[in-house]
Copies of this chain bind each other. A is one copy, B any other.
Amino acid sequence: MKRVVIIGGGFGGIYAAKSMKKLPVEVKLIDRRNFHLFQPFLYQVATGGLSSGDIAQPIRTILRRNKNTEVIQAEVVDIDPERKKIIMRDGEMSYDKLVISTGSSHHYFGHEDWAQKAPSLKTVENALDIRRRILLAFEAAERESDPVEREAWLTFLIVGAGPTGVELSGTLGELARKTLRDEFRNFNPESAKIMLVEGLESALPGYPDKLSRKAERALKKRGVTVRTGTMVTEIDGNKVTLTARDDSKEKILARTIVWAAGVKASNLGHKLAERANIEINKSGQVKVRSDLTVPDYPDIFVIGDLAYALDRQGEPLPGLGAVAMQQGRYVARSIKRQMKRKRIKPFRYWDRGKMAFIGLNAAIVDISRLHFNGFLGWLFWVFVHIYFLIGFNNKLLVLTQWAWNYFTRKRGARLIIGSKHFPVLTREADEQPQITEYEPTEERV
């Protein structure tokens, strides 16, 4: 039996595997993690609205009825297209067909050292780290008596106004203005400054202008300051330098910075490009043919965020879960047709629109001729997203949690955990102001 190896258990990989259920092939799905993650909800984990368990599901559970599929937790470090093998950290495996769907992370554009100070929101660990930083900042502000320092604790800078940045800053605004109300005695959480910085000309670049403007208004209502046409050009401790288009500079004191800009494709793209002599773009995405295979290697498919695929108009497809899902299904169909020696049509993306969540009663929906926003947009967003918690048995639970959050404005998952969970206020000149550096003495007995 032919062996199909799928690398990556994101939207693309899971849909590919699911769609191969009845094919007479042996499927191996390899991922570094044991779970599929519903990334569109990661910002909810980062702001304490959902627990990580709510948005993750073991890949084995999703695919347990696919008797032809074995799920392997391992890391693929290289691909050898000549020998038709993948190389894992602890072994090799041969394939007949290969589907690479390892996704992307955020791009620091040469400032990789900023990752420590300004984490991005791509993994569960990132989300829990950001949650800890946000909540610790409020804890520190409560204990801080110096007004300048307190303001620095209460200043939150989000870099990049794509959907992630918009969703995160809107929710953070609600956290400060609604959820935390009455919980502190030494300051008013409403005084928190939330800044959303975007290099391009508007929030939600790529959305229709009208919706971008509506998003900006909705954010403003939630206390978020949106700065478009502005780049972060330096991060030095808690001093951040913003540079506008006219080259004017401004320094901001912010203790909490989250990076939500740029796209950097998974490193396997580079590896494949070296070995197979194919093109990648400057984000590291692999240029694929119209059938999503790699030039000269019709047995290797690249899908999802790792692929640089063009639509009929020659425009690149957006980095959306919906694209990856459709590509996963397409690959399964293609392999079936290849096996039957049937002709394969090029991949076509069926655009079901774009959405962004700003907060309670506010979401931006752009579906071809249909534009929603406000409460209707919010409702639509919630239902569509929960519908797409794929393979998830816990849709009902997440919906209950959302309804709960909606009616109470509570965010239940506000734990500060991890080894560095503790605020210690130091008065020294503090170049790298990490409140979180301290491990408590006794607890880990």
Contact = CB atoms under 8 A, between A and B. Distances in A.
The number of chain A residues touching the other chain, given as a range, is 35 or more
A123 interface: yes
Interface in A391-445: 393-394, 396-397, 400-401, 404, 408, 410, 412-419, 421-426, 438, 440-445
Nearest to A127: B417
Contacts of A264: 445
Interface string A239-258: 00000000000000000000
A424 to B, nearest CB: 5
Interface string A87-105: 0011000000000000001
A33 B418 CA distance: 11
Given A139-B34, A400-B396, A400-B397, A426 B90 contact: yes
Contacts of A3: none
Interface in A30-68: 32-35, 48, 50-54, 56-58, 60-61, 64-65
Given A123-B443, A125-B444, A58 B408 contact: no
A53 to B, nearest CB: 3
A423 B91 CA distance: 13
Main secondary structure of the interface of A (DSSP, over half): loop
A35 B414 contact: yes
Contacts of A444: 115, 123, 125
B33 A442 contact: no
B397 A52 contact: no
Contacts of A416: 33-35, 73
Contacts of A53: 48, 50-51, 53, 412-415
A378 to B, nearest CB: 21
Contacts of A425: 90
Interface string A287-322: 000000000000000000000000000000000000
A387 interface: no
A143 interface: yes
Interface string A105-138: 1101000100100001001110010000001000
Contact of A400 (B71, B180, B400, B421): B400
Contact of A139 (B48, B51, B73, B143): B73
Contact of A32 (B33, B77, B135, B440): B440
15 contacts: A34-B135, A53-B412, A53-B414, A53-B415, A58-B414, A61-B414, A74-B423, A89-B424, A89-B438, A105-B443, A105-B445, A120-B445, A123-B444, A397-B400, A397-B412
Interface of A: 32-35, 48, 50-54, 56-58, 60-61, 64-65, 70-75, 77, 89-90, 105-106, 108, 112, 115, 120, 123-125, 128, 135, 139, 142-143, 180, 182-186, 264, 266-267, 393-394, 396-397, 400-401, 404, 408, 410, 412-419, 421-426, 438, 440-445
Given A73-B422, A74-B143, 11 more contacts: A34-B139, A51-B51, A64-B182, A73-B139, A73-B416, A75-B422, A105-B443, A267-B441, A393-B404, A393-B410, A397-B404
